[in-house]
Structure 1
Amino acid sequence: MREEEEIREQYEFLIDQLESEEMRHEGVRQMFTHYRRALGWVLEEEHM
């Protein structure tokens, strides 16, 4: 499993990408949104 710091960096990167103006295509936004949720669940499970 990846280290928590690496997962957090990827999570923050995805949030920045989702908020950027270049992410206008709805299909890509949905894909990143689902990926971001999955990373959030992983982080939550690590701290339970």
Structure 2
Amino acid sequence: MRDEEEIREQYEFLEEQLESDEMNHDGVERMFTYYKRAIGWVLEEEHI
């Protein structure tokens, strides 16, 4: 189970990465993977 601080850190990391001017196709694909993982954590928290 993830705590709120961990989810918040993940969100901030994603935000920084998406704002980066160096984002390329691979980077965007990797960010979507992280995003889906973070969303999964939130949903996991709500269903437990």
CA RMSD of aligned residues (A): 1.7
Q: What's the counterpart of residue 37 of structure 1? A: 36
Structure 1 runs of 4+ aligned residues shifted over 2 Å read 1-4
Note the C-alpha offset of 1:19: 2.7
**Identity value in percent:** 47
Report the secondary structure of 1:38's partner residue.
Answer: helix
Which structure features the higher share of helix residues?
A: 2
How many residue pairs get aligned? The number is 47
* C-alpha separation in 1, matches of 2:43 and 2:12: 15
Which consecutive residues of structure 1, in runs of 5 or more, have no partner in the other structure?
Answer: none
* C-alpha separation in 2, matches of 1:3 and 1:42: 9
TM-score by length of 1: 0.66
TM-score by length of 2: 0.66
